[in-house]
Structure 1
Amino acid sequence: MDQQTVGILHPGSMGAPVAACAATNAAAVLWCPVGRSPASIARAQRFGLEPVTTLHELLDRADTVISLCPPAAAEDLARDVAVHGFADGVYVDANAINAERTERIVRLLPHTRAVVDAGVVGSPPIGGKTPTLYLSGPAAGTEPVEELFAGTAVRTKVLGSEVGQASALKLAYASFQKTSRVLVALSIGLARAHGVDQELIDIASRRTDSYLAEPEYIAKTAARAWRWGPELEEAADMLAAAGLPPEMLRAAAATLARWDDAKDNGALSLTDALTRLAQP
């Protein structure tokens, strides 16, 4: 098969390194800087992505388009792609969105060769990290994506032909991983307010695989809250659709909202994060 030209929409901290991995097997990986922040531009340059002047040019040239953006933007972004026209290519929705939203995106793009439901589980493929890109949907879409990432730091696994399976797996995993981090912040914050936080950490450190033994991660959670909160809202929607109670995830998302102003703040300390958490 001829090498694919790939378009990456909104290359963020996950999207840019994932796109760079795709470049291993692609003829080119394109992105559009219009309306993007200086940080996004610098990131795309760092990972060697090729800029194009308009979204229309990206869609006209790309065989495969990968959407990796904040959950709330996923549907509008797919709508923009539909308006500009994207026919005969593969659209990969790798956002942390619920299955119902993924199905709506499929309906927005009736002229594509295939829409692939995808979900990234793991850290960005930097410094030896090897996330897995789970895929579901028609083989006409999943097979080209597997070829793109063959032999790279991004592993792929096809779950089945049903759109929504990858989204469900991603959000099921995110529900535990992200909510447990929120509970750590609340537990450490409560213990610290009474001067017993180190004792709590000591207790947790005697147990295996306890997030409570990793309080340093609270600041990282705060910096990522702007992304994690919407993911948990998506997961809560899926719980409700399955007849399961969504309240715990919605509460975790509301807790994360207290850190919205800490977006991507890599200099945030544990003390700063806990202080913000205690001040709505």
Structure 2
Amino acid sequence: MDQPTVGILHPGSMGAAVAACAATNAAAVLWCEAGRSAASAKRAVQFGLTPVAALGELLDRSDIVVSLCPPAAAEDLAHDAAGHRFDGVYLEANAINPERAQRIASLLAPDATVVDGGVVGSPPVGGKTPTLYLSGPTAATERIGVLFEGTAVRTKSLGAEVGRASALKLAYASFQKTSRVLVALAVGMAREHGVDQELIEVASRRTDSYLSEPQYIAKTAARAWRWGPELEEAADTLAAAGLPPEMLRAAASTLARWHDVKDDGELTLIDALDRLAQP
């Protein structure tokens, strides 16, 4: 198969690095200069991307378009591509929800083939090797896989259903990013009372990720009747320190869905998750 021409929308820190990896197996990787910042131009030069003056030229010349931009802009970019009747493979690799990914696939059909993508990990520079999860039509996902063969971007297919890759990306991000915010709140609360170093010492004794222990969800549910009020107390403590309490109040509200399984030692993971899904 001939090497494809690839277009990147737009070369941010992740997009430019991913595009540079694609260049390994592409005839050229294009980016559109129109309306982009000096920082974008500098990144594009750094990663060896080829500039074009207008989006229409990028779309006309590209066999594969990679959309990696702030999530809010994802559908606008897809509308632009649809308006130009782009008819290649469109990799929708933004951190958007599955319904939006499916809307974009419908918007670009039947001219283009949309592959849903989700990048998990840091930009592929300095030895970092993120995984690009893919879902969508088999031939198109295989083509994306070939594009990144032998590069720092690993690919893994999740099947033919558009939205699966986006769901995995957001499920992971919801834990990973919320956890970082919770760290900030916990340390902020401890610092207000002069015990932040002691908190860090306590935490250093355990380095495992709770996300790797889903079996503990049932125990969490059984203890929700105690944990919810405890989090409300913690939220009050945050508020008294001038720190935002809303995240902990939301967690307490979530725990309230399990109040009817107080101290239920027989509860299974499936039971707990089913109850969580019921208002």
Distance apart, 1:249 and its partner CA: 10
2:241 aligned residue:
none
Distance apart, 1:137 and its partner CA: 0.3
Rg larger for:
2
Report the Cα distance in structure 1 between the residues aligned to 2:42 and 2:98, rounded to whole angstroms. 33
Q: Is the 8 A contact 2:86 2:112 kept in 1?
A: no
Distance apart, 1:195 and its partner CA: 1.2
2:48 aligned residue:
48
TM-score by length of 2: 0.74
Bigger relative contact order (CA 8 A; separation at least 6): 1
Q: Is the 8 A contact 1:204 1:210 kept in 2?
A: no
Report the Cα distance in structure 2 between the residues aligned to 1:61 and 1:248, rounded to whole angstroms. 46
Distance apart, 1:85 and its partner CA: 2.2
Q: Is the 8 A contact 2:85 2:111 kept in 1?
A: no
| Alpha-carbon displacement from aligned partner over 1:186-219 (angstroms, at most 9, x marks no partner) | 00111111111111001111112369xxxxxxxx
Question: Gapped runs of 5+ residues in structure 1?
Answer: 212-246, 253-280
2:116 aligned residue:
117
Distance apart, 1:114 and its partner CA: 1.3
| Alpha-carbon displacement from aligned partner over 1:132-162 (angstroms, at most 9, x marks no partner) | 0000000121011011000100000001000
2:260 aligned residue:
none
Distance apart, 1:107 and its partner CA: 1.2
2:189 aligned residue:
190
SS of equivalent to 1:14 = helix
Alignment of 1:213-252 (within 5 A): none
Misfit runs of 4+, over 4 Å: 247-252
Identity across aligned pairs (percent)? 76
Distance apart, 1:84 and its partner CA: 2.0
Q: How many residues align?
A: 216
SS of equivalent to 2:13 = coil
SS of equivalent to 1:120 = strand
Cα RMSD (Å):
1.9
Letter in 2 for 1:141: A
Letter in 2 for 1:55: L
Alignment of 1:129-140 (within 5 A): 129-140=128-139
Alignment of 1:151-170 (within 5 A): 151-170=150-169
TM-score by length of 1: 0.74
Distance apart, 1:111 and its partner CA: 3.2
1:60 aligned residue:
60
Letter in 2 for 1:171: L
Instruction: Evaluate the alpha carbon distance shift between residue 47 and residue 105 of structure 1 in structure 2; reply closer, same or farther with a 3 A threshold.
Output: same
SS of equivalent to 1:160 = coil
Report the Cα distance in structure 2 between the residues aligned to 1:187 and 1:81, rounded to whole angstroms. 44
Distance apart, 1:65 and its partner CA: 0.1
1:37 aligned residue:
37
SS of equivalent to 1:24 = helix
Letter in 2 for 1:82: A
Report the Cα distance in structure 2 between the residues aligned to 1:148 and 1:164, rounded to whole angstroms. 21
Instruction: Evaluate the alpha carbon distance shift between residue 76 and residue 58 of structure 1 in structure 2; reply closer, same or farther with a 3 A threshold.
Output: same
**1:22 lines up with 2:16 in the alignment:** no
2:218 aligned residue:
none
Report the Cα distance in structure 2 between the residues aligned to 1:107 and 1:188, rounded to whole angstroms. 45
